[in-house]
Amino acid sequence: MVRDRIGRIDKILLAAVMLVAFLGIAFIYSATWNGGDPATGINPLVIKQSIWVLLGFVLLFVFANVDYLRVLNFAYVAYGFNIVLLIFLLVFGGERYGARRWISLGPISLQPSEFVKITVILILAYFFGERREKIKTLGTYVGAFLLVSPAVLLIFLQPDLGTAFVLVPILLSVLFVCGCGKKYIAVTLFGALSSLPFLWHFLKDYQKNRLMVFLNPDLDPLGAGYTIIQSKIAIGSGGLFGKGWLNGTQSYLRFLPERHTDFIFSVIGEEWGFIGAMALLGLYALILVRGIKIISEVKDMYGKVISTGVVTLIAFQVVVNISMTIGLMPVVGLPLPAISYGGSNTIATLFAAGLLLSVSRRANR
């Protein structure tokens, strides 16, 4: 009776998400392997990631079994708390790698910007759900931008261009799916593209270097262009079937920087080849297809916004991360969802999956 009341869980979506998370642990193990006995040479990062995955699964199952409408009651509180944490980082946060993105809690580092992606989706769901009658008005359109703007600005100032940028497609996709005026979206996109030359002057020097190196990695082959050159070598050397697990030379010999975080797809491409990389993309595609199905089935505006936001978040990060590892986009520091090492990213991704499962259960009850 309980199952009928809250709906059946999407077992295909759940299995795909769990498999991706477990594969992430295996890939991180490979990326951090020191060449010793595979049974004993476990890097502490692998243990930490395993803990993050377990905590993420707890959140996933909890929120998959909770009506998302109840979660939305706390949307503005959660978003406001997130904004306070971002302000705290800018004022009191210590620098790491030239940025203020992490709050240190003993052995744990928390990255508030990862959770902003989720709280932004929640406040947009509440905002549009409460304005169903005025969804196509200019006031609703402007109001949505004003809601998201503080998060975008504060994350940009850390600086974290990649995470700040990911909030924009989330907002635009939600606006589009909710039926906001297409002319407003078109004008916004035109204005954004027209302002790119002006925004160039607000970028940090290293961000400008990344953009220039994207156009020509050989401009700085031992500096800003080094990582992308090594990434291409790793992926290209994997061929069709790859070199095998723990046999990636670019990773094992430490030629590839950030191999367990932003560039973990390069390790996957080298060790598992084109076939393995396509299999992983197939899993992501399955998650996104199930998510799009949920968007089409859910009737209420709250669930439609949540599912649209989560699908856009996952899709955008996958496309950008893989594109930057193969040189199709500049390096912007976006992780591969539930694969790249990082507690905040892993927990936020699995939390988002739990919300998507909750929407699915309500839509199919």
If phi > 0 it is left, if psi is from -120 to 50 it is alpha, else beta; for residue 300 that is beta
Work out the burial of residue 329: count CB atoms within 10 Å of its CB; fewer than 13 is exposed, 13-18 middle, 19 or more buried: middle
In the numeric block, which tokens belong to residue 212? Answer: 């220039």
Res 282 pLDDT > 60: yes
Whether 8 maps to a domain, the answer reads no
Q: Whole-number mean pLDDT of the chain?
A: 86
Res 142 pLDDT > 60: yes
The count of structural domains within the chain is 1
Cα 244 to its chain centre, rounded Å, is 27
Res 225 pLDDT > 80: no
What does the pLDDT look like over 318-349, one tens digit per residue?
999 999 999 888 888 789 999 999 889 999 99
Res 186 pLDDT > 90: no
What band does 224 get if pLDDT is binned at 50, 70 and 90? low
Whether 9 maps to a domain, the answer reads no
User: Beta-carbon neighbour count of residue 45 at 10 Å?
Assistant: 16
How far apart, in Å, are the Cα atoms of 334 and each of 1, 113, 130, 233?
A: 42, 11, 32, 20
Res 37 pLDDT > 70: no
- The parent domain of residue 217 ranges over 15-363
Whether 215 maps to a domain, the answer reads yes
Whether 4 maps to a domain, the answer reads no
Res 39 pLDDT > 70: no
What does the pLDDT look like over 268-281, one tens digit per residue?
999 999 999 999 99
pLDDT of residue 223: 66
**In terms of DSSP H, where are the helices of the chain?**
2-6, 11-32, 44-64, 68-72, 75-92, 112-129, 138-156, 161-178, 182-194, 196-199, 205-215, 226-237, 249-252, 264-297, 301-325, 343-363
Query: pTM for this structure?
Result: 0.90
Whether 186 maps to a domain, the answer reads yes
pLDDT of residue 260: 86
pLDDT of residue 219: 66
Whether 161 maps to a domain, the answer reads yes
Q: If you count them, how many residues does the chain have?
A: 365
Whether 114 maps to a domain, the answer reads yes
DSSP state, 333?
-
